[in-house]
Structures are given as structure tokens and as C-alpha cells.
Amino acid sequence: METLMPAEYTQISCEDGTYQAAICHRCNTKIFPAELLDAHLDRHQIKDLYLEGELKKLQFAMARMR
């Protein structure tokens, strides 16, 4: 497992105060509340794994076509 990069944080000002939001280092999306960053990163990872699997299937199919 790769080690996750430390998350960046930013402040979001709302009418009733300032909140901390995390910034996803993969897509630069502001995640609020910051606790949701984990779930967000999980989704990236799942997508990565899915794409990797699809790519392997594709490469396998291509190799067989030759």
C-alpha cells in the first residue's frame, strides 16, 4: 500500500463561522467536512483499481488478437 500524502487543509468562511475543509491532492476538490476526505480518497482508489483491472483485461484481449 502506498502511503497517503498528508492532506492539505483550507478554511471555508460561512456566515456562522469558519470551517476547515480538506483539499484532495488528487483532484483538488475541497472536501467538507474534512472527515469526508478518507471516503473521498477511498473512492479514488477504488476507481484506480477498477481501471487497472479493466486495462489488464484489455491488454489481455489485445494480446490474444495478435
Binding site for Zn ion (CB under 5 A): 24, 26-27, 29
In angstroms, give the least distance from the CB of 11 to Zn ion: 19
Degrees, nearest 5: CA angle 42-46-52:
145
In angstroms, give the least distance from the CB of 31 to Zn ion: 8
Measured at CB, which residue is nearest to Zn ion?
A: 24
For Zn ion, the closer CB: 28 or 64: 28
Q: What is the dihedral of CA 53, 54, 58, 61, to 10 degrees?
A: 70
**Furthest-apart CA pair in the chain: how many Å?**
64
